[in-house]
Structure 1
Amino acid sequence: MSTEKRLPVADRRQTRRAFWRAFRQEKGLVAVAFLFNALSTGAAIVAPLYLGYIVDDIAAGASMSTVDDKAVVLLASIAVSAVFTWLGTWALGMLGERISAYLRERFIDSSLALPLSVAEAGGTGDLLTRTVNDVPLVAFLFRDGLNRVAFNGMKAAAYLGAMLWLSPLLTLCLLASVPISWAGMRWYLKRARDGYLKERASEAEVSEVLTGTAEGARTTESYGLQRRRTAVAEESVGNFYRANRYTLYLRSWMFPTLDASYPLSTAAVLLLGGYLYFQGSVSLGVVATCAILSRQISYPIDSILMWIEGLQKAFAALSRVEGVLVMSEDEPEYGRPLPSEGTVEIAGAHYAYGDGPDVVSDVTMSIAAGEHLAVIGPSGAGKSTLARLVAGIDHPRAGEIRVGGTDLAEMPMSARRRLVTLVTQDNHVFHTSIRDNLRLAAPHAGDDDLKEALATVGAEWFDDMPDGLDTVVGGTERELDAAAAQHLSLARVVLADPVVVILDEATSMLNPQSARTAEQSLGQVLEGRTVIAIAHRLHTAHDADRIAVMEEGRLTEIGTHDELLEREGAYSSLWHTWLGDRAAV
């Protein structure tokens, strides 16, 4: 599967910027977490130091009371370290949860702000994988991974400082494990980021293929394409398997290399420490303490290096999540006021999907402000594609489209969405209250405005909702049928209050009587606005100011109902056929 149109992935600089920006959201909690972990680490250092003092006291023949006093301090330090370790873990966990929530909310906002054409080109699987898999991995990065790495890094630094204070010469023994561990980590890190990015991308490919196969199962069976779809699925799963096997290969070399390097430092401390002890350069307690610290320092370092694998995955996921965020942030601000009138001018518009043939060819027309234009034609005539072009979702490969005298291609998506609203027959009900579903179009609308919008589109079912606007719909709570979902979508149009409204068979899920009522109600509300209706019911075309007929991507007729009947062309034929069918019924 080609990934040329995949959603972008942030580069290393953008990913690092996103990482530190997330931390800046919680500066106070970062300081608290650092303080608790610093106190925990400081208390943890006391235990091995006092153990060395006890060894020296025993070797010097000190009294039991002296040894007991030091033992009490040792035990107290362990208790204090345990308390502050718990507090530090709590603070880091809280920090991780808050940052994770911040990133999740930003990601959802940015995903909703993506141009529809970009989201569609990226594929359902890519965006779904970033939402379902990558965002939780990023949450893991801040909630679990970083606190362990930060805490263990602090402990390793403290142990190293204690060894330097006791014996700089014995501290040099830690370098014995560096060549092997450095070579292993350098080899791993050189390959890890690309390997994990490929793993995430191949997982998105599997999701895309399996989702498409499931959604198109009936079509696949109807045309006997099972073997072809199975082959595509097997290829994508094979790519995912190979990508996973490669990252497993990286880990299989890294971890044994690290494990083999740690004992070298402790062995070096014992050998050199023993020699220095017999030379009288250091005490037995110093040797014992440094040996313990050299072994203790390996645990936090090992933990950090073990988490490197998880962090590589998480940072690869952060790069994919940030790719969506950067795309939405790159959109420029529209510094000029939006056009206040809805004149639509289409001049020589051509459009093709990918490298295919034109599905809209040389369409030219002018729609006056406040005019109601109906666009009709057979399936595949290019009606919905024309609607997407006027809505600014796609841009013509040739020609231009102007609304209110402004070229849509020069306007950012946020401005186009405020100017033009497209309503299709595909509507989504979010798993939340009716109020929140409606406020997607008008975040600051009051309850009276929401109820009035529902009444305007004839949503009589709302009167039966037990909790009114607070009723949770969607998901497993209260599933709305297709007609009710379409009412919600039309009510959003009323609340959005755009200059130009495009209805792409927006009432097709309603029964004829309900559709007629909704269209008449919308007609009153949309009075004075430019309306382009992609019509599949000819009574919708009959009510329009003008009718445009499209065939094979071209505009073949345009005029009023009576004018087109007089021409006895395609519209006249459709009209008389429709009247004959109604009479037969």
Structure 2
Amino acid sequence: MTSRDPGRKTLPIAEPGDVRRATVRLVRADAKAFTAALVLNSLAAIAGLASPWLVGRIIDEVRAGHGTTAVDRLALAILVAAAAELLLARWARYVGHRFGERTLARVREEFVDRTLALPANVVERAGTGDLTARGTADVALVGTTLRDAGPELLINSVQAVFLLGAVITLDPLLGLCGVLGFGGIWWALRWYLRRARAGYLAEGAATSDVAEILAATASGARTVEALRLEKRRVMAGRDALETSRRTRFHTLFLRTVFFPAVDVSYLVPVATVLLVGGVLLERGALSLGSVVAAALYVQRLSEPLDEILMRVEQLQSSGASFARVEGLARAPRATETDAPAPADDLIEVTGVRYAYDRGREVLSDVDLTVRPGERLAVVGPSGAGKTTLSRLLAGVDAPTAGSVTVGGVPVVALGPEQLRRQVVLVTQEHHVFLGTVRDNLKIAEPSATDEELWAALAAVGADTWVRDLPDGLDTPLGDGGGRTDGSQAQQLALARVVLADPHTLILDEATALLDPTTARHTERALAAVLQGRTVIAIAHRLHTAHDADRVAVMENGRLTELGTHDDLVAADGAYAALWRSWHGERPV
């Protein structure tokens, strides 16, 4: 049983070709460092070739009966070559690690830029767990590969090429024997690579599911407890963990088959070279020193190959992670468009229908005109479509049919900056960012002065408690700083809206977490500050509707009533029933 929600859209995964192109792009971005690392690794590999050849020369010198002077010189040359190899290899690792850190910084910056460019509806439908897993575990694994596996793979690949070339140079037949002897590794590697990418992608997706379920359960803990959904959430978590366990065991199985096969295969080429070399030695085709040198080269070849294969295994895991990180490039982007500027602030909803993916239609034939500067309240029972309408008005989602325009331009056609100046949606969800109170407010308007910040706080009734903080606007908030309750966090969010100063403000039950007195004060303060601007309030407290210019009543995805509070009460329809129910202090 899988824990993945069939109605939830996952973020894209990059194709192997996309990953290769991204890798080339990252290398080109720091080509000088990559070239320097390649050159230094090549020099270190050349220095490493000297020792086996010199050992062979020593054997030949001793067999020829030459004096110890020649042997001493050759031994000294071995020490010099070893020292040169050590210094060059350390220098190469230093350059490679610096290249890896700079490249990782580029990957992180690209990930943040792409994440911020995602439309809100894409993030919501994918779930925060997937995005969180990609931005933490996947990026961290890519970083480890760039910092450690990348340089090591480069070093050992160069060494393997030079060692194999050295064997072929000594004797082509021995070189061929060495290559054929590693055939077992080739077949084991092919078997592994065919299965590894899919296995690690499945493991990453399962990790995202676990993160998503944990995040959703933690954020909705009160709702889970109130509705007694603990067992259901625990079962969902267990299902996700079981799927994650199975995917991890699958990749573990791949490794337990691959690495033992490789370990056994290392013995074959050394034995083959010694056997064939012995035959050639008997026939006088090779000296004993050359056979020993060839065997040492092949034996030493197992070290870089072992490292390469270890890194190949890591590359499969990190390659899958990189595909998930790079996959954001394939996601829709909320970019600026060539849409014309709206002619005015008139909002028109014409024949709008909307249905969520694989779900029933939640809005049907909605027609609504919101005049500039009007205060409109949208009311109705839970599930009537109020929130969905607010999302369409704010350009978060596009209607399935019909149109939502501002000044004659479709709202969804406006780019992020243009849209923010036209319409801002404030929901019950809010966030306090790490930083000071000033930092939290200046997100909306970086150039705002302290006087403007205090005015925005006063507009939403938050100036009193902010002045009581130890350092006022400079008081840190979040972990390690000042703590804010739900109403204070929501007031900060509303203060940001005041600073953004859009012509249309949509409040989707934005004051739901405030106590009635504070909520009423905040709404009146906003009305005063935004006078002359359009305010659309999705409300469940009907005093909001009482203060509005007009009231729109939603029922079963349709707009059933539209008029002033007094007119709708006099009409004795659905709104009148809601009003009597609320006024009598019974649940709406």
Query: Structure 2-normalised TM-score?
Result: 0.90
Equivalent residues in 2 for 1:41-60 (5 A)? 41-60=45-64
1:300 is the counterpart of 2:300: no
Residue in 1 that maps onto 2:373: 370
Letter in 2 for 1:123: G
| Structure 1 residue 214: Cα displacement | 4.7
* Map 1:109-508 → 2, pairs under 5 A: 109-216=113-220, 228-328=232-332, 333-339=336-342, 341-411=344-414, 416-417=419-420, 419-442=422-445, 450=453, 452-460=455-463, 461-466=465-470, 471-508=475-512
Please report how far the alpha carbon of residue 36 of structure 1 lies from its aligned counterpart in structure 2 after TM superposition. Answer: 3.2
Check conservation: 2:436, 2:473, Cα contact below 8 A. yes
Contact (CA 8 Å) 1:176, 1:268: kept in 2 or not? no
**Structure 1 pair 421/180, CA: closer, same or farther in 2 (3 Å)?**
same
What SS does the corresponding residue of 1:359 show, helix, strand or coil?
A: strand
Q: Using the alignment, how far apart are the partners of 1:455 and 1:92 within structure 2?
A: 54
Aligned to 1:39: 43
Mapped partners of 1:276, 1:372: distance in 2: 97
Contact 1:439/1:445 (CA < 8 Å) preserved in 2?
yes
Q: State whether residues 547 and 561 of structure 1, in contact with CA within 8 Å, keep that contact through their aligned partners in structure 2.
A: yes
Q: For the residues of structure 2 that align with 1:541 and 1:10, how far apart are their CA atoms?
A: 48
Please point out which of 544, 555, 561 is paired with 2:559. Answer: 555
1:23 aligns with 2:27: yes
Task: Assess if the C-alpha contact under 8 Å between 1:106 and 1:325 holds in 2.
Answer: no
Q: How far does residue 196 in structure 1 lie from its aligned partner after superposition?
A: 1.4
Displacement after TM superposition at 1:548 (Å): 1.6
Give CA deviations for 1:434-475 in whole Å, capped at 9, x if unaligned.
Answer: 444334434565666555544443432333444555543223
Cα distance change, pair 164–465 in 1 and its aligned pair in 2 (3 A): farther
Q: Which residue of 2 aligns with 1:509?
A: 513
Once the two structures are superposed, residues 509-566 of structure 1 have per-residue CA deviations (whole angstroms, 9 ceiling, x without a partner) of 3344443443344334433432211123334333333222223332222223343344
Q: Which moved more, 1:141-150 or 1:528-537?
A: 528-537
The alpha-carbon distance between structure 1 residues 294 and 355, as it changes in their structure 2 partners (threshold 3 A), is closer
Letter in 1 for 2:410: D
Would the aligned equivalents of 2:396 and 2:412 in 1 still touch at CA under 8 Å?
Answer: no
For the residue of structure 2 that corresponds to 1:555, the secondary structure is: strand
Q: Which amino acid aligns with 2:531?
A: E
Deviation at 1:313, TM superposition (A): 1.0
User: 1: distance between equivalents of 2:221 and 2:526?
Assistant: 37
Q: 1:343 touches 1:530 (CA, 8 Å); kept in 2?
A: no
- Seen in structure 2, the aligned counterparts of structure 1 residues 220 and 367 have a Cα distance that, compared at 3 Å, is closer
3-state SS of paired residue (1:373): strand
RMSD across aligned C-alpha pairs, in angstroms?
Answer: 2.9
Alpha-carbon separation, structure 1, partners of 2:24 and 2:451: 43
How far apart, in 1, do the equivalents of 2:473 and 2:280 lie?
80
* Match in the other structure for 1:73: 77
Matching residue's letter, 2:308: I
CA distance in structure 2 between the partners assigned to 1:568 and 1:302 by the alignment:
82
SS across alignment from 2:559? strand
Aligned to 1:93: 97
Counterpart AA for 1:52: G
Give the alignment's TM-score, normalised by structure 1. 0.90
Matched-pair contact (CA < 8 Å) for 1:44–1:81: yes
Post-superposition CA distance 1:135-170 (Å, at most 9, x none):
212222212221211111111112123223333332
Distance 1:244 1:66, change over 3 A: same
* CA contact 1:176–1:264 (8 Å) conserved in 2: no
How far apart, in 2, do the equivalents of 1:578 and 1:34 lie?
75
- Equivalent residue pairs, number: 581
**Residues 462-501 of structure 1: per-residue CA shift (max 9 Å, x gap):** 3344455554322343332222211221232233343432
Deviates more, 1:366-375 or 1:491-500: 491-500
| Secondary structure of the corresponding residue to residue 114 of structure 1 | coil
Contact 1:430–1:475 (Cα < 8 Å) also in 2: no
Matched with 2:523 is 519
Cα pair 2:340 2:409 within 8 Å, conserved: no
Letter in 1 for 2:276: L
- State the alpha-carbon separation in 2 of the partners of residues 35 and 450 from structure 1: 56
Q: 1:511 to 1:141 in 2, by over 3 A?
A: same
Compare 451-460 and 553-562 and name the one that shifted more. 451-460
Flag the 1:449–1:549 CA change in 2: closer, same or farther, 3 A. Answer: same
CA distance in 2, matches of 1:74, 1:470: 65
SS of residue matched to 1:395: coil
Q: 1:67 to 1:528 in 2, by over 3 A?
A: farther
- Structure 1: runs of 5 or more not aligned: none
Cα distance in structure 1, aligned partners of 2:411 and 2:100: 42
Structure 1 window deviating more from structure 2 (76-85 vs 432-441): it is: 432-441
- Give yes or no for the alignment of 1:535 onto 2:518: no
Indicate the SS of the match to 1:8: coil
The more displaced of 312-321 and 524-533 is 524-533
Q: 2:351, 2:552 → 1: CA distance?
A: 15
How far did 1:377 drift? 2.5
Deviations 1:271-313 (A, max 9, x none): 2222223333222222222111111111111111122121111
**Which residue of the other structure, out of 4, 9, 14, is the alignment partner of 1:10?**
14
Secondary structure at 1:478's aligned position in 2?
coil
Cα offset for 1:222?
Answer: 5.6
Corresponding letter in the other structure for 1:68: D
Q: 1:218 to 1:546 in 2, by over 3 A?
A: closer
Would you say the 8 A contact 1:546–1:558 is kept in 2? Answer: yes
* Contact 1:341/1:499, CA 8 A, preserved across alignment: no
Return the alpha-carbon distance in structure 2 between the equivalents of residues 38 and 529 of structure 1.
68
Q: Is the 8 A contact 1:130 1:321 kept in 2?
A: yes
CA deviation vs aligned residue, 1:410-447 (integer Å, no higher than 9, x gap): 45667545542211111012233444433443456566
Distance in structure 1 (CA, Å) of the matches to 2:47 and 2:466? 63
Native 8 Å contact 2:214 2:237 kept in 1 = yes
SS at match of 2:182: helix
Distance 1:367 1:309 in 2: 60
